[in-house]
Structure 1
């Protein structure tokens, strides 16, 4: 290789090394306190609120029991469904940290709304002393709009944080052993936050006041956001590689567009049949015009199935 070729390749290599070097300097166990603190704050606030949402609707908004149960179920279902979209967005396009940061900010705004609904009497219907909600005044459209906005923001914010915190934490470690250890600690902190949320937060909301309870959730979500930002200088942030669904869609589109092409008109077609072996169209081993299972080969880490499509 001559010197001119070396001069052309050198900037590319240097650029790749420059991109990899910051990744090697970041990450590791120094990021665990920040990730764990962020996760603890969010888990405590979100779990404590969602588990007591039904009671809040019944006691403070005089919602019928059936309607309150439906609202609470929709809220819980959204908290489990929206994170799937958040995970796809983070893995394929934006990266974990930006999505988690946006989710933490939205969660903070949600708890601002919840705290306002509990602290300001104008945002709730008058308290009903009757044991039944029959005859009690229900929330006005404006009051319910603030409440539903808080629930919606909580679902969206949790969608950005719930699964992606685990992904970002695993990205901080290069070895599988360290990732396994991180996940052990991840579940310790996760379920620890659930226990505190289900007991302490619920007790404060029911036994002290809803305003204080939601205020504690607001403080916990603020702490979560602060911890997340404090650790930003230490996080390893891998570059996203795009969505695999985009490539799948391209394959389908190409297959449809070229479905009528007569490949034999351009000469024989070679088919890879596995183990580095090839066959040519027209021979005995070439794929037929039917779809059938032809076998499987076991590899050390996975099992690959080969289908012939003719």
Structure 2
């Protein structure tokens, strides 16, 4: 990594800033915050069922809402970072919010007055939590989710901002996701095991400690970071382009570059002076009309005139939206599988040998392990091999496409495994026995999770790199948060789909042994195939705006 390091000297101290010297602090902070978040999120369904006496499908729905919320808040954090505070302040503030929320969750697990009385397995007289107990629980979940969401992808943006070249940024994203998934493996195994076998209080207490340590590590690296300077809300500029284009919709367009407004402090070449011909309807927003420009060459009417750059920035967003939307139905099956696989694991034999039993909340660690392993293989072997064969690095669109295919295969395998599980249920007449363990090893769930994990190793870093490199510079934090927005929408959409299927079918009862979960997976497989076709169409029509230029710059 030393050869890729970027060294920037401050005028007075001569201290190196930016580059790989910042990675230990960023990855250390990421590891601590991921341990904290993963430690309670991974086992939330089990916690709600065993401690707060929620029904299984209801607990899965709550988990989907929580995962959706923690994935939507990165957009809020990104907007604040891009527009007002910068990445460093946003990560610091949201880490403190996460620490507070995790502390509330630890209290619900340690104080008897904040949780309902334990419920015996199979009992129909379980006491529901009180309003105060629900209030503290959901306050902790909300604060922890907000904090986790506000830090995760803003931290990724801050790390990428430490490098100039797209090649270095791509390597950073690979190692960033490797650090994240490795920490998730630890939280989903060690911490979840402690929660299941020692106590929930100790497990959640470790989450609090990990959050605090991550925050301290992040703050210790402050003197090494390159700090970004917010330039005001970029979304206001987008709104101005739309309003100005509407106002001037009847004006005839010009082919002369001097008829369009460019910022006087950012001179452009004659080739780039005029807006491009794509989405011509927006070009009139930068067309200079009488009274639009003041005597000092500044914009006199901000809602009637915009720069060519602002117009082109909006066009860039419009071009990438179809590609972005195709990933929503890439994330939705993963979200549905994540919650329902835990319910499957609860009904299966989770023993490894005579003395060890896999915690149900840890079953998804298979996804994390397979993703971590393949992130390393992709970076060290597959990408160099591809580059030797084709003399090009695999493009972000190619990596995303591979992820689509593997995701579809994962859903198909999920359907086949669930069909086998249901056959065993019927052979042993377990349909009416929700607490009975199906004599089928939970290891049967591993292949589908491995396929999904390998798919994530391809498409998640590919998406983040694509958005970061293609989005306007003023929207860099928002760019990395776009993947989080996809995940958030996917979890909420998965909640809506599960709720819809519960209403119109009998496939998802509280006792999944009496349902048809395999039909759900087959539907997801079909939707995945159709969505992959849509993605191929979008990818074929999309033309890179910045990636090819960045690659040329880095090679030069």
Conserved? CA contact 1:87–1:164, under 8 Å: yes
Unaligned runs of 5+ in 2: 1-8, 258-268, 275-279, 282-542, 550-556
Q: Which has the higher contact order (CA 8 A, sep 6+)?
A: 1
Identify the residue that residue 113 of structure 2 maps to in structure 1: 122
* Aligned mate of 1:271, from 255, 259, 266: 255
Pairwise CA distance, 1:98:
0.8
1:246 aligns with 2:246: no
Distance 1:179 1:73 in 2: 31
Conserved? CA contact 2:97–2:143, under 8 Å: yes
Conserved? CA contact 1:105–1:157, under 8 Å: yes
Distance 2:65 2:187 in 1: 20
Map residues 47-126 of structure 1 onto 2, 5 A cutoff: 47-126=38-117
In structure 2, relative to structure 1, the CA distance for the partners of 1:95 and 1:23 (3 Å cut) is farther
Map residues 1-310 of structure 1 onto 2, 5 A cutoff: 25-132=16-123, 134-259=124-249, 270-272=254-256, 276=271
In structure 2, relative to structure 1, the CA distance for the partners of 1:255 and 1:67 (3 Å cut) is same
Pairwise CA distance, 1:51:
1.3
Pairwise CA distance, 1:48:
2.2
Conserved? CA contact 1:23–1:236, under 8 Å: no
Q: Map Cα deviations across residues 186-225 of structure 1 (whole Å, 9 max, x no partner).
A: 1221110111011111101001100000011011001011
Pairwise CA distance, 1:277:
11
Per mean C-alpha deviation after superposition, the further-off stretch among 136-145 and 26-35 is: 26-35
Q: Map Cα deviations across residues 49-94 of structure 1 (whole Å, 9 max, x no partner).
A: 1110011011111112232122111111112222122223212332
The secondary structure found in structure 2 opposite 1:162 is helix
Distance 1:120 1:212 in 2: 12
Pairwise CA distance, 1:147:
0.3
Unaligned runs of 5+ in 1: 1-17, 264-268, 280-286, 289-296, 304-310
In structure 2, relative to structure 1, the CA distance for the partners of 1:272 and 1:142 (3 Å cut) is same
Pairwise CA distance, 1:159:
2.0
Distance 1:113 1:299 in 2: 46
Pairwise CA distance, 1:169:
0.8
Pairwise CA distance, 1:228:
1.0
Larger Rg: 1
Pairwise CA distance, 1:243:
3.3
Conserved? CA contact 1:45–1:218, under 8 Å: yes
Conserved? CA contact 1:23–1:237, under 8 Å: no
Distance 1:23 1:241 in 2: 27
Distance 1:234 1:218 in 2: 26
In structure 2, relative to structure 1, the CA distance for the partners of 1:21 and 1:96 (3 Å cut) is farther
The secondary structure found in structure 2 opposite 1:271 is coil
Distance 2:88 2:273 in 1: 45
Distance 1:135 1:260 in 2: 70
Pairwise CA distance, 1:226:
0.7
Pairwise CA distance, 1:252:
2.2
Distance 2:213 2:59 in 1: 30
Distance 2:168 2:273 in 1: 42
The answer to which structure has the higher strand fraction is 1
Per mean C-alpha deviation after superposition, the further-off stretch among 227-236 and 209-218 is: 227-236
